[in-house]
Structure 1
């Protein structure tokens, strides 16, 4: 009895399989432009399933990216949505061409033409694509973030907004510079605050050769320590840099967490140094040159 039941199940399963195969193989053929297109229900269902899965995957990727921290404002989200729609359309076109190829159509000519069009678009949108890729590189590497003080193309400024295509930088002159993202990736950029909030700054000054160098060192150190924007740790320190042509060269170095206004701090220190040196009778010399005039007797003509 068990053997008979098993044979019955096998027969039933084979019949079901044959039925589904016959349904999936149901189709026909027709001629378009001299080309024969063979189609069946199985191929059509497979293509439909592929398009459906692609749509779900693209929607999921778009939703995840929009909810992530990559796009911090609505403007960036709108730009990304537009770019993503273009990419999605391109993927659907590729799937459509693959589907035609599966059905037997010769799409080599279409692929060749599409490759030429894409190459032209690539050249036309070169900088846009570079800026877009640069944004993702900056976000992922965290080499530049909002609030960082950077120097690019000789301009020092604070990053106020890192957006989809460009980065806005506020200069020390209270001006906004808009820099394409690809420049921040391809060029050398100084980031003053990436590793630490505090940066080391310095002010140089020269004093007369008859000055008390220890006294000069003490005055410079005290002035730096007394400034409210100079950090007490690490402590300011003084370098005796060199013997100049007309002066002894000193440099006082200090740390501050306000790198963006370091020029103002340096200016304050210079005012205080000038005032302190005048009170202590320490001279700041200026370059002098001695000119020796050699007179020559007139020769008799």
Structure 2
């Protein structure tokens, strides 16, 4: 019998996402570790409309490690602009697609306050003015705002390409960018469960693997043109892949734990990006800690 991977009942859970990033762009090497925490609440589920009302509160966003001052600057700017999205009240479908932002007034109010603070602190810096202009255009367009939230780490990892699909297996193609975010390609996804998997236990494991269905002859030029003066991009033979493992409660559809990796290696020594994500619920973390602290030998 087919099993659809969806959230099936309301719940509230805290999650921690740890992102390890390693990017080499010929002469620029950037390595970082970021940790983000959220409080996620599923308020209600509409089975007829196949959608949910949710609240998402960002609790923390910390840069734990960085080998490059530029990463610290980017993280600081990201935290400032991330304040606008720290409290979200949304209607989403069962795949995690954002349909409606219910607290738009709160978000716009935060942006107005943040914009005034930035202008006062940074003055007429061209970079800040450009950032303000860009975000002004986003906050004046509901579709752009929803797209910005959709692209955030929570939705791209929690729901990913897994939720809304069916087990024992699903194959599909998805159009989106490469991991350098420089070229659009078609990804071929395979989503599947463990062999002879039962759905009446505490958790099930769901796997997802993806690679480009094909790379057109012009891909290298589109994807790596910014490095054309530093290496021969025509000779590159890039390898792109994405793999994930999700641990899900089958009765509720609640995500307990997930590991995801993304790699794009154009040249092992000169040009690559590697991302590793660990997304874990406080419930799973507590269970793992209890097992770790449990004595090996118990006296009677």
Q: TM-score range by the shorter chain?
A: under 0.3
Tell me which of the two structures has the higher relative contact order, counting C-alpha pairs closer than 8 angstroms and 6 or more residues apart: 2
Max Rg structure: 1
Judging by fraction of residues, say which structure has more strand: 2
Judging by fraction of residues, say which structure has more helix: 1
